[in-house]
Structures are given as structure tokens and as C-alpha cells.
Chain A
């Protein structure tokens, strides 16, 4: 049941074949059976079962919401009342938020039942989920490999069939990349679609919540639940149409699919290139028109991002000072040593590295050369997309240059880890929506994802293409072997 589509589960919840409480218990049991994946930071069975009972009552009363009673899990970066919000960090290892994030409020209002908070790279800084204070999450497809990151736990729980949908966040690729590495459909909407209120900030002008699902259709349903204007977020988009389902069944006749020549470069694994081209051909077979597009500055997306995101992070993470909440060092002699000891003991290496880089980029004498230069480059990169979308309706390319690396393979070499985000960061720089869809497997049986990029607010269009692709292929229905517990 847990690996069925949302529509199927919704039907089962209504025809009496399963209750939300039973579904929730099933998910909790499956989470236990797969504890070795280390995909959760916290499970909250009691609250989940209470919420499920409330969902059952709503269902009985005739609630026709397709998400009512469905189980899910939230990334441990969304603030939740009454349950830990750690952001994968020691510095928040004791933090229970007195308020709910808007994403949480919206999910709860839809009677989605959250069974726990998923593991992640510390403060979402990483592409492997290995930088979590709570240890690495394993990839359900092969536990010697990482699930990607930073929303690795959120991807693993859906890939392992513990829940059918989950929330994540994507600052430089943290939804799309783990979706690709775990054979899921993962979407990051246009910056400003989902309120950032209650999302622990990493890089505020990039951070955007997204969802993981087993199909484009499920992703569309779940994404609708969390999008929407929020007056508490000054960057929230006020006028937005939230209908991602209506266009799913449009055929692709005449749809112009842009292939950026810069994405098919030397860094790209040959197998992935072939897989993405095969997918492009499938779309062409369905009537889409393939066009080459030019994103001339895309290779500079990584250097640009690694100035701006750490700069914002260095400031965002300054509030973790041990004064009002969170971890405070045991030993200190004065205010200064309280600050320094708390932050030095509370943050992990990658977070400290990015704080130092960001501090450097903003410091006097270097601000223009780094920060301002990067902001100008950011506009050039955004302009590249604007020009490209004059020639196509959606852009298609790889999500990642490689399939899932082995545990420990990249996290000790920051620069090579950063370069894994090469195809995903440019969307965050521009604020564009993008998704990753399963497109095949490598010779080791590890999933390959392809990325669809839409113009601003055109989530419906990329979901339409993804859905049409999924009607003709069965990559997205493949499930990993050796998963514990019942579905």
C-alpha cells in the first residue's frame, strides 16, 4: 500500500480497505524495519497515530481531500512544535520549536500524517547526507552508496517505500539530486512559491521547499499542498495559480524541449548522457521538438553559488550563539569563549568551512571582488535562461554528472563534492522551477535522473512533460530490492 500512488491510497482510505491509523502503523513499522538506512532523525509515533485518527474521523465525515490520511515525513529543517528540529546539527540537537513552519501548518491542515523528521546534511550543506550530526543516511538502492543530499533522508524514506511522499528543501539541488540518486520524482518550484517561514535558513535567496514522490502525478498533488502566498515571508509570491494537475495529460505535440549544449560536457558521465538522450528521443517520439539551447555562463554557476550561498549562510547561522536556544558549550570563562566554544563544538566541519568562506567573501576589501561579482554573474546566468526560454518551452538535461557515489568517496574533498551540483545550482541562482525524473540505471544498477527545467511559475509544464514521459516508461516504477518490512 505504501508504494501505491496517492490516488490509489486515497481510494483505499475511502473504500475501507485500510484506515489512516493502519497506514500510519504500517509506515512506522516499515521505518523500524529499515532503521539501518538511518533516514530519520526523529520518529513521532504517538503524534502520528493521533493525527491519523483525526484523519480517519475526517474521512468518515466525507473529507474528499486526496491527501487526507496519507502518511508523509518532513525534512528536519522545517520547524515543528513539540518535536525536535535539529537541521542535522549538534547546535540544534535539543531544539523544539515553539511554532510550526508554514509548510507544516499547510500539511497538517490537509490531514497529512507525518511520522517523523528526516535526516539531512547539517544545515542542508552537502550533497551526500554524510555531514549530518546524526550520521549518514544510506541509499536504499545500494547501502554502500549515499542517497544524495542534502535531503537524503527525505529521498530514502520514499525510495524505501516507508512513505509515498515527503518534503525536502532545495538550495542548490538538494531535492533534485537525491531524487535522481534514489530513482524518485523530486520537484523544486519557482523561488517564492513555497513560504520559507519556519524553514531553518541556509541561503535565504536560494532556499525553496520541494517534494519527493514516486511519480510526477503524486509530486503535483503534494506540491499543491505546500505552495501558496504567505504574508510572513517577504519573498513569497503573492499572485500564484496553484494547479499542477490539470495539464498532466496534455500531449507533447509541438512542445519545444531545449537541450543546453553546455550540460552535455566532458564532466558528464557517458552513461548518463546516453540515458538523457534516450529520454529526449522518447519525448520526440511523443511529438516534442528538440532544440539546442545555449546557457553560456552555466559552467560558472558553481563558483557563483559558492560565493553567494556561503555568504548568506555565514550571516544566517550567526544566530546560533548559545544564548537563547540550542546547544551551549559546557566550558567557558566569558562571553567570547561561550560564543567560540559553542559554535566550534556545535557546528561540523563542512558548515564551518562554508561560514569561513562566506565570511571571507563579505569581508572588507573582498566584497566587490567576490560578492558583487557573483551577484552580477547571477544576473547573467538568469538572463541566459530568459534567452533560452525564447527558443523552447522546457529545458531537458542531466540532474547530476554521476550516479550515487560510495559513502566517503566525495565528502572529504569539498571542491569535487561542490562540482556535483553543476546542473542543479543554476536554477537556484535564477529562481527557476526544476524537477528530476527517473530515466534509467547505470551498469551497477544505480538510478539515473534527468532534469526538466521550466520558466518561472511553469511547474505545470514540466510536470506535464514528466508525466507524459512516465506514461511511456517504467523507470519510475522500479523499486529497490532488499527493503525490510511490509508495504
Chain B
């Protein structure tokens, strides 16, 4: 009997809030700088570096990432082969019906060796970071742990004040959408208030904006 299904399916879950597959793909370029991207419904692929710029954000998608053009051509011609079997990772992104706030990310690979080992580590680290950022923050404990003792509300106020001083005219959303400036801002806050994690700073900024909106 023919085995009609190959590969190993690695199933990851992360928060839907803040999930953007492009952030994960961007990190894959560190492992496969000449990677090719192919939507599962398309005949041909394009360089991953181009795909990241043009890919629409979508909650359900299926695509392949090949190590390079040669691997993509081999897969197109022969399907799976001994030589290039581990040169392609299939990604499937889908909603999780039982947990509406979660995304299920499936990676289909051959075996966990070499580049694939590094690649999985990068993807799972990124997925973990998304989950951590989206999980509810224990503000009091978290701030105390890094030596900030003035409490959450005061922290919100101070972060908002720094934004007014350093990025006058920028909304919290605008700052969040400019990663380099957001990083500069987080580092400036750390210099003033102590080693507070970056996601605490950005979350405080967004929460302060929301609280301000609600009180109007």
C-alpha cells in the first residue's frame, strides 16, 4: 500500500491578537536568505523577501517556503524527493474553532535536523513571544519585579508623558506602527524608569489611550 501522506505536522497555537505571519516569515530569511514563497493555490513562487512586502494579512492561509529557487524547481518537477525533501516548509494558518482568540499554525516538515531545527526554533520563539505579549499582564508583580514601585496607574501616566515629550504629535497607534521609533521609545523609558520590558511599555501606552478614550 502506498503511503499517501508524507511529512511531520508540527502544530503550534498562539494568540490571534498581534499575530502577523509576515513577522515570522521575516525571521526565516535569517536561515534561508534566498527563500522562495508560493501560495498553495498558485503555480509559481516569488522570492520570500518580496512576498513579505506584498502579502495580505489573512487569518486563514496555506503556503510553501522553499530554501531557494533550485529547491522550488525540484519540488515543482518531482514533488517530494530524498534530495530536496527537507528544503520546503508548508505553513497552514487557521482559526481555532474551540478557542476564537487563538490561531493554529501548522508547519509541515520532513525531519527536525539542520536548518529545519533552527527554523523551528525561530518560529516557535516568535509564536511564544506573540502569546506572551497578548496574555494578561500582572502589572503590580511585573513592575515590582524590575524595581518599579509606584504602581500601574502612575506607570501609565509616566509612559504617556514621555511619549508627549519624545514623540509629540504621535498617537500611541502611530508609535506602535513604527518599530524603530517604538524601540527607541522603550529604551528611553527604560533609561528613566528602570529595566521595564518593552511589551510593558507599549501595552501601558495603549491602555492609557483606551482609558483616556473611555473617560471622555
Q: Do A and B bind?
A: no
Residues of B whose CB lies within 8 Å of any CB of A are none
